[in-house]
Structure 1
Amino acid sequence: MVSFELNDTKKIGIGLTGFGVFFSFLGIIFFFDKGLLAMGNILFIAGLMLTIGLKSTMLFFAKPKNYKGTISFGVGFFLLLIGWPFFGMILEAYGFIVLFSSSSLAEASNSWVDFSAACRDIVLYWLQRKACTCVITNSGDKYLLACATNAKKI
Structure 2
Amino acid sequence: MIPITEWQKIGVGITGFGVFFILFGVLLYFDSVLLAFGNRHKLRGTGFFLGGVAIVLLRWPLLGMLLETYGFFSLFKGFFPVAFGFLGNASNIPFLSALFRRFQGATSMV
Whether TM-score is above 0.5 comes out as no
TM-score normalised to structure 1 length: 0.30
Flag the structure with higher strand content: 1
Structure number, greater radius of gyration: 2
Flag the structure with higher helix content: 2
TM-score normalised to structure 2 length: 0.40
